[in-house]
Amino acid sequence: MLLSAIQQKLKRDNGLEYGMDEITVTVGAKEALVDASLALLDPGDEVLIPAPYWPSYDAIAAFAGARPVAVPNEPLAQHLDLEALKGAANGRTKAILVNSPNNPTGAVYSKDELKAVADLSVDKDLYIISDEIYEHMVYGGRKHYALASFPGAFERTVTINGFSKAFAMTGWRLGYTAAPRELAVPMRRIHMHAVTHPAAFEHRAAAVALTECGASVRAMVEEYDRRRQVVHGALNRVSGWRCPEPEGAFYAFPDIRGTSLTSEQVFERLLAAGVQVIPGHLFPKGEGSLRLSYATSLENLKTAAERMESAFGRA
């Protein structure tokens, strides 16, 4: 039931066709990432990851004995520095790991950026691990593009997705991989002997989510968009802060270097003022910024904005 629903979703939303034996339902998207890394990477391999990024990527690559290589994005805009990405590829590089929409920056990589990633993977014969968990959360007329849909990318791409974000099923721990059979078979072997499968009742709920809850997802994304706009304006009013427009997911990633403080120092001052954020140094290449989530009520966000201005002054 769920495999069929995922198969239909990938074709409908992403233009990708997979057999059911090329899709594996996992215990969260994190297990999907572990399965892909263990199946595709060998000790000594390198994985290019546009940075800043979710810090678990480092640990997951290390499970396979591989070395993550953080490739800094363009300053402030947090979009791909394609020349830096190309320059980082060498004889040890085995894969590129891409997350768009991005955690922690909220950036949504453009069609041209993703095509360049696909072209690089073909040119250097690299795998692509594409974490698309925030796929439905894009704003301002932007569009999500599945990396596997680009010419030459399908046969070398593992698509990672799940139900935590779009369907607010975080505690259910349900994700999936989609990949051509050559890549799917070794991942499925790892999955089968590590966890067997997620609980069966979750499959039924997730299948309903994919087939019947589109309107609810769209309504949720519209609400996040309203909050996003409020947060973006509020963060740019804080003295010493500059915030690029959040384009996707539900995060803002303001540059706080104008305060002349470290991200840990800003975090501590905000915590004392009653605002919880994540200091940027916890994300590879993220020092000088903070991650804030707007997955909370508008009332809470407005209160947080007032407290941030009180702690640092108004720009």
Are 108 and 12 in a shared domain? Answer: yes
Q: What is the total count of domains within the chain?
A: 2
Would the pLDDT of 76 be above 90? Answer: no
Residue 111 neighbours by CB under 8 Å, 6+ apart: 143, 145
Of 170, 186, 212, which one is at a domain's C-terminal end? 212
Per-residue pLDDT of 232-273, as tens digits, reads: 999 999 999 999 999 999 999 999 999 999 999 999 999 999
In contact, 290 and 78? CB cutoff 8 Å = no
Are 30 and 148 in a shared domain? Answer: yes
Are 129 and 220 in a shared domain? Answer: no
Per-residue pLDDT of 10-43, as tens digits, reads: 999 999 999 999 999 999 999 999 999 999 999 9
Q: What angle do CA 233, 239, 242 make, to 5 degrees?
A: 55
At residue 148, the 3 state secondary structure works out as helix
pLDDT band at 222 (very low <50, low <70, confident <90, very high): very high
Domain interval for residue 304: 215-312
Would the pLDDT of 315 be above 90? Answer: no
Residue with tokens 């108004």: 314
Residue 11 neighbours by CB under 8 Å, 6+ apart: 17
Are 152 and 80 in a shared domain? Answer: yes
Task: Provide the CA 190 distance to its chain's centre, in angstroms.
Answer: 23
Per-residue pLDDT of 145-196, as tens digits, reads: 999 999 999 999 999 999 999 999 999 999 999 999 999 999 999 999 999 8
Residue 164 neighbours by CB under 8 Å, 6+ apart: 28, 29, 133, 170, 172, 173, 174, 175
Please give the pLDDT value at position 161: 98
**For residue 299, what is the enclosing H or E element?**
helix 298-312
Are 88 and 147 in a shared domain? Answer: yes
CATH number for the domain spanning 182: value is 3.40.640.10
Give the predicted TM-score (pTM) of the model.
0.96
Please give the pLDDT value at position 273: 98
Are 13 and 137 in a shared domain? Answer: yes
Of 183, 212, 241, which one is at a domain's C-terminal end? 212
Are 175 and 220 in a shared domain? Answer: no
Region of 174 please: left (phi>0), alpha (psi -120 to 50) or beta.
beta
Are 36 and 179 in a shared domain? Answer: yes
